[in-house]
Amino acid sequence: MIDVSSGAHRRYDALNRKWVLVSPHRTQRPWNGQEEPQPHGNRLPYDPKCYLCPGNVRASGERNPAYSQTHVFANDFPALTYDPQNGVTAPHPLLAVQTARGICRVMCFSPRHDLSLGDIDIAGLLQVIDLWTEQYERHHSRRGRKEAPAGNRAPLSTRWEVRCRK
């Protein structure tokens, strides 16, 4: 049973008649504080403090590989998790809730800290598109949905954390 104060779930917003994703555990993510943008010509290609740069240790304690092109990995602080959940109990009878499951991936477009998506050349953009397509096909294939645990009626979704560095 998932605790609605700490686990991902969906809540029904009766006023707007929509289901809303709630991920209260995301408040556990690290935050380095507000960073002011550097002038365009003074950006470093590598930042030893950046969680996303090649070879650096992420907030989870895992070390990034020394990647040399577009790289994707499981989000260390995902909004959704794939963990099987038996259900959700609403804390109040007027609150409608449902189990929410999924996977969250992070894609680093380039190993260079100083490049944003708009700075990448055509060959680099094609790598991003190819990897994004491969990830989409892997995680959204009909075969993948059939492999979900039996009896689980909650849809599986993928949420992308696209983080651009400037």
Tell me what pLDDT residue 86 has: 60
Distance (Å, whole) CA 65 – CA 18: 40
pLDDT at 63 over 90: yes
Of 17-26, 48-57, 75-84, the poorest mean pLDDT is in 75-84
Q: What is the pLDDT of residues 66-112, one digit of tens each?
A: 999 999 999 988 888 777 666 677 777 777 888 788 888 999 999 99
Of 21-35, 37-51, 115-129, 145-159, the poorest mean pLDDT is in 145-159
Tell me what pLDDT residue 123 has: 93
Helix or strand or coil: residue 32?
Answer: coil
- Written as six digits, the tokens of 103 are 């996977």
Pick 25 or 73 by higher pLDDT: 73
Tell me what pLDDT residue 144 has: 44
Domains and CATH numbers, the chain: 9-25+44-162 (3.30.428.10)
pLDDT at 155 over 70: no
Distance (Å, whole) CA 23 – CA 102: 12
